[in-house]
Amino acid sequence: MLVINKPPNFLSIPDRFDATKPNLLSYLRTTFEQVLPVHRLDKETSGVICFARNEQAHKNLNKQFQDRVVDKLYWVLVDGIVQPEQGLIEKSIAPHPAIAGKMMVSNKGKVSITSYRVLEYFKQFSLVEVAIKTGRTHQIRVHFESIGFPLMVDKLYGVRKEFFVSQIKSKKYRLGKDQIERPLLSRSSLHAHHLTITHPTSDEALTVKAALPKDFQAVLKQLQKWNK
């Protein structure tokens, strides 16, 4: 198998409508003879993702994901001071009836379970570690928006499309003449931090952690400096 730290703004698998768009699966297949997808991450989400190298491993890993015996932990920056510090969100999720590609909490949806614990508080934001017990589309984004704590950056479910340092430095922030402020983060503030699976041939428990990408690290650094 292959375990990759996927960069943000990169598709996991080919686009349904345009297979020419850059994606991780096609890229890996230029180097390895056989690569089979096991699970996915949203385009904007960074972090750990697993692929199988043969049919036997693919069948084994797929069953682990289907049986929900895989542990997936995400680090998420959200708006607001999340309370309580630990919790469980159990709300069914279904496609939005009027907006293509968007999901929503609905009694008619599929059972969806998310647990979380706060890692660090800031004045306006929280860094949260999240475990998903089910793998619904946009599950983390929908669940946290539903309890009043949308992702810090989320074009579809949040309150801002980009995050700028000036949003936390306010009067202390100064731009030079003719300078334009660039966003520190312009994609969903969501990172797949670690994955625990059973190795398909040795049967040993394997935990892989993915380092935070530069954009996520930069935001955390500024929050720790200006928003404690």
The answer on pLDDT for 115 being more than 80 is yes
The answer on pLDDT for 154 being more than 70 is yes
Domain boundaries, the chain: 2-172+181-226
Q: Which region among 77-81, 167-171, 207-211 has the lowest average model confidence (pLDDT)? A: 167-171
* d(C-alpha 77, C-alpha 67), whole Å: 28
List CB contacts of 83: < 8 A, sequence separation 6 or more. none
pLDDT band at 176 (very low <50, low <70, confident <90, very high): low
pLDDT of residue 17: 87
Return phi, psi of residue 130, to 5°: -125, 135
* d(C-alpha 132, C-alpha 16), whole Å: 25
List CB contacts of 17: < 8 A, sequence separation 6 or more. none
Q: Catalytic: which of 42, 79, 154, 215?
A: 42
Residue 42 falls in the annotated catalytic set: yes
* d(C-alpha 218, C-alpha 164), whole Å: 11
List strand residue ranges (DSSP E) for 31-136, in order. Answer: 36-37, 46-52, 71-79, 86-90, 93-95, 103-105, 113-121, 125-132
The answer on pLDDT for 30 being more than 90 is yes
pLDDT of residue 126: 98
Chain centroid to Cα 27, Å, comes to: 21
The string of pLDDT tens digits covering residues 59-89 is 999 999 999 999 999 999 999 999 999 999 9
The answer on pLDDT for 170 being more than 80 is no
% residues pLDDT > 90 (the chain):
89
The answer on pLDDT for 174 being more than 90 is no
* d(C-alpha 67, C-alpha 38), whole Å: 13
The answer on pLDDT for 95 being more than 90 is yes
DSSP 40: -
Q: Spell 42-77 as b/e; 16+ CB within 10 A means b.
A: bbbbbbbbbbbbeeebbebbeebeeeeebebbbbbb
pLDDT of residue 151: 98
As a three-state string, the secondary structure of 188-217 is CCEEEEEEEEECCCCCCEEEEECCCCHHHH
Q: What is the mean pLDDT of the chain?
A: 95
Is 2-172+181-226 assigned to CATH 3.30.2350.10? yes
pLDDT band at 19 (very low <50, low <70, confident <90, very high): confident
